Amino acid sequence: MRQEERLAGADFLRATACLLVLAHHLVLRLDMRRIPDELAPTAHVVRFGNFGVAIFFVLSGFLLAHPFWRALDTGKDMPSLRHYAIRRAARIAPGFWCAATVGFVLSLTLLGLPLTPELVLRYLSGLMFMSQWHWRTLFPVEVGGPLWSIPFEVTSYVLLPACFLLLFRLTALRRHPLLARFAWLCVIGGVLFAHVLIVAFFALDDIARGWEYGLQGGAKEWMPRFNPIGFFAVFAIGALAAGIEIMLRARRSAWFDAAALLALAAAAYRLVISSGGTPEAYGWLDVPYGFPAFPLAVATALVALSQSRRLGRLLDNAPVRYIAKISFGIYIWQEIILILIQKLDTGSFGISSENVMTGWLQSCGLAVALILLVASLSYYLLEKPAIGFGNRLTSHRLPNRVTPFKV
């Protein structure tokens, strides 16, 4: 990937997203009843690191929509859907399948769960990226909770070109970029309407509902407000931001640096004020993670950082780029490693320590080191070869590629 083709700030937000989710899962293992009072507010805020999931959706929509907007604006044919599908599958499937399989095996061995048809159904539906459509299968495996969001994102991968196909069929949009962006706003409106219908007509009963009943009880608590259509609205905001960013090409200004700082501050503020509310921070129309303020702030930051003079490149420094590179591995392996630590050392994360914070920090240090190691191995031994294979399959035609094939 040539440096000039990079979208400044994307690596920073990718790294931020995966570290926020990791912080969220680390704080979930902290006994909040035993921590010092002065640390409680910070701990409660960090628990909302699950907002990192929303950043991933906005960022993916932003990066993947660029080729479609460029082709639409220049009157070219729609980018190859075959190549798009190959690249997405090569990027997501190998790592996800490997982590899901390890999680499935550990469910049977480490957790000692019986091999039931329902456990197998969850696993197989996850492998086929179809687990997102029912609460029973929402979590593909018992060991590897964060894997739930990957099939959700795959749904957005499918809906993105499907919605752009509608825009490409309207020839008037090719001559009027602003009209095309308005049409995408209408797409977002239609998606939100579909989300409202899902929430209204697919409500679940209260039998065995809640996190006290395990992952499936938690899934029943989440759904139907957690549904792939609602999450596509978050993804589509990122896609709209890509369309706006393309219209601003060659307009770099220090004003964008200031706008990026303001947008990042707004996103941070929306996360902070969620403390004390529901863990999922349901926003407008019951879409999770502070919708629409948080994804709009992230999308604005992406546009501004990509046009900034200094801030985007400053934030995309070498350590941040490396974390971004292995971010998928950090995301899919973190819960597996955390559960392994807990099972192999029942006193970990401060449970058996007189000083809960000291014990928790020691376990966090070990966990982070192992997660970074496994994520690095996952990238170089599994993900990168798959990415290279996917790129070779599509190397004879690479239209409108503006971002590395590692979203």
User: How would DSSP label each residue in 140-153?
Assistant: S-SS-GGGGHHHHH
Q: How many Cβ atoms from other residues are within 10 Å of residue 278's Cβ?
A: 10
CA distance linking residue 47 with residue 26, whole number of Å: 8
Predicted local distance difference test score (pLDDT) of residue 396: 60
User: How would DSSP label each residue in 275-340?
Assistant: TTS-TT---GGG-TTTTTHHHHHHHHHHHHHHH-SSHHHHHS-HHHHHHHHTHHHHHHHHHHHHHH
CA distance linking residue 179 with residue 212, whole number of Å: 49
DSSP strand E in 72-210: where? none
Nearest to 137 by CA among 222, 264, 248: 222
CA distance linking residue 48 with residue 17, whole number of Å: 11
Predicted local distance difference test score (pLDDT) of residue 399: 43
Angle at 208 between CA 205 and CA 210, to 5 degrees: 90
Predicted local distance difference test score (pLDDT) of residue 401: 40
> Cis bond leading into 319, ω under 30°?
no
pLDDT (tens digit per residue) in 95-121: 999 999 999 999 999 999 999 999 999
Predicted local distance difference test score (pLDDT) of residue 215: 95
Task: Answer yes or no: pTM beyond 0.85.
Answer: yes
Q: What crossing angle do the helices spanning 177-201 and 52-73 adopt, rounded to 10°?
A: 140
CA distance linking residue 403 with residue 407, whole number of Å: 8
Query: Tokens standing for 13?
Result: 């937000």
pLDDT (tens digit per residue) in 258-286: 999 999 999 999 999 998 788 999 999 99
Predicted local distance difference test score (pLDDT) of residue 5: 52
In this prediction, the residues of the chain whose per-residue pLDDT falls under 70 are: 1-5, 250, 396-407
What SS3 string covers 168-203? HHCCHHHHCHHHHHHHHHHHHHHHHHHHHHHHHHCC
